[in-house]
Structure 1
Amino acid sequence: MKIFLVIVGIIVAIVILLIVGLISASKKIEKQNKKMRAEMEKANPLPKEKQHLLAYGANLALYRSESPRVLQMKVDHEALKEGLSSYWDISNPEEAVQTLEWLLSEGHRTKYDELLLALKTGQSFTEEEVGKSQECYESAQEAMIKKLSFTKSDFDRVDTIAAWDFDRAINIARWSYILGYLTEEQAWSYIERAADAASPYFQSWKDYFISFAFGRGIAYEGDIYDIIWNGKELLGEKDSIWNEFSIKLPVAESR
């Protein structure tokens, strides 16, 4: 019995050490990412009004460990090129423009906003009908309640996944600019259009995050746990881009 307890104690100790190690490594990586982003921002400063526009692409930018305050990024161009080609079928300027126009004029919200409303009213669907969308929607709510302390009333305010489209549009404009598919002027034009379209939709950045998360869950059928930490930073840290800028664009910025 004593030997058994000793073995259990050793196993528990090892598990605790592993958890502490993982937490320490995670914090170190987070610190390194913030330092890298700060260096990019210092090397490529933008006026506040342009940073405000980029705030609408902050979810995906942080997910990729990029700064949401600049166009430039430290990236392997070949890997980015392969990613745009594989996931977005973008390999040239024409395809970049076509995708951006689709995201801004239609996007996934055209198809999935109706499903979001049906799920919010408690309708139930089989996997044959909606794939894993319902499961991922419910999982997204659970994750945001558990990790971000969101409430049902927070979810009740959001009836669109539009942030999923607008956030991606801003980042695709950035990536397309980096790869030379768009000029800088073209990239800013699409970023402005996305921000202008997003601003009237939402009352707060919390609503914007929820909309993005629902889009990831319903349209992409993806787990949102890997973007929860972005939400913690964007909504909780005093110096985050969301806590610096309003969800609403000033009239002077609107295009």
Structure 2
Amino acid sequence: MEGLGYSLLLLLILIGLSFLAVCLSFIREKKITAEQQAQKAQDEIYKFLTEQPVPPTTHQQQAWLAFGAPIFLQFNEPLKEVRPEVSLLSISQYRQFLKQRWCITDSESAQVIIEHLLTLQDAHQLDALLEHKQQEVQQYLAAFTADNDPTSLEEAKKTSSTYAWDTARAIAVTRWCFWCGYLTEETMWRYIKQAAQTAQTCGLGSWVDYSVSILLGQKLSEPKRLHRNLDSDLLRLLGSSVYSPRTADHLPPAREYEIAIWREFDFIYHAKAF
């Protein structure tokens, strides 16, 4: 019996070692794959920057991009430039995302989706829901304005449209399509300018109204979809010093510097002539 027990113990040890070897091999391969993906992302973005040199943005262009800032922060993207950074996802990953999330695969489909957003088609449908979902809306607003300095509940209640959910996404999708080669630089800026001007004429003319409009649009259209600390990002852009524990994440230094973009540019910004 002793010999049988020893043999069983030895067998269990061999099985354990074999399992450990498989696990280590899997971890090693996963690490190599992650490194390869990171290198691929860098190579694709370096290629983009080499083949498509984009000049630094002007102050007026940065003011237009400010309207896409909440979506840019969701993806940890630059707020003031249209050039991609090497720390971002690969161009291939952006193409895959546009295909799966937006059904965008080429220039034609890109323009169809962007123009859909620019004409506030989603916002018109969501605005019709606002009256019927007042209880949920009040809950969203109460949670967003609780204990934070720049936004009061009474001020938030003045927002009556989800227009900003469409304009902010239009700007983000436009820049992604430019990165993926679906839009020219000229067309990109035309769409971004149009989205910013639409936002300036649709709402109450303030970044608070814009923030609440985005928040309501997201909550009403995608209530079960997780957006990484969207409320926190909006409060930061507004200049709030209040963060709840659930949203106390830290931004990279570059983003911490850019986060003041809404305080740098008035909601309706006109570049000075020099």
- TM-score, normalised to structure 1, is 0.70
The structure 1 residue matched to 2:232, chosen from 229, 239, 242, is 229
Following TM superposition, by how much is the alpha carbon of 1:67 offset from its aligned partner in structure 2, in angstroms? 1.3
**Whole-Å Cα distance in 1 between the matches of residues 142 and 213 of structure 2?**
15
* Native 8 Å contact 1:96 1:181 kept in 2: yes
Answer yes or no: is 1:69 the counterpart of 2:80.
yes
* Native 8 Å contact 2:114 2:170 kept in 1: yes
Amino acid at match of 2:270: P
The structure 2 residue matched to 1:90, chosen from 104, 112, 129, is 104
Amino acid at match of 1:246: D
* Native 8 Å contact 1:155 1:210 kept in 2: yes
Following TM superposition, by how much is the alpha carbon of 1:138 offset from its aligned partner in structure 2, in angstroms? 4.9
Amino acid at match of 1:213: L
Answer yes or no: is 1:204 the counterpart of 2:206.
yes
Following TM superposition, by how much is the alpha carbon of 1:108 offset from its aligned partner in structure 2, in angstroms? 1.2
Aligned to 1:112: 126
* Native 8 Å contact 1:217 1:223 kept in 2: no
The percentage of counterpart residues that share the same residue type is: 27
Following TM superposition, by how much is the alpha carbon of 1:51 offset from its aligned partner in structure 2, in angstroms? 0.3
Please give the residue correspondences for 1:1-255 in structure 2 after superposition, counting only pairs within 5 Å: 45-74=56-85, 75=88, 76-120=90-134, 134=136, 137-146=137-146, 148-149=148-149, 150-200=151-201, 201-221=203-223, 222=225, 226-236=229-239, 240-250=260-270
> Runs ≥4 in structure 1, deviation > 6 angstroms?
none
Following TM superposition, by how much is the alpha carbon of 1:202 offset from its aligned partner in structure 2, in angstroms? 2.8
Structure with max Cα Rg: 2
Give SS of 1:154's match.
helix
**Whole-Å Cα distance in 2 between the matches of residues 92 and 101 of structure 1?**
14
Following TM superposition, by how much is the alpha carbon of 1:110 offset from its aligned partner in structure 2, in angstroms? 1.2
Structure 1 gap segments, 5+ residues each: 1-39, 123-133
Structure 2 gap segments, 5+ residues each: 1-48, 241-256
What is the root-mean-square deviation of aligned Cα atoms in Å?
Answer: 2.5
- State the number of aligned residues: 198
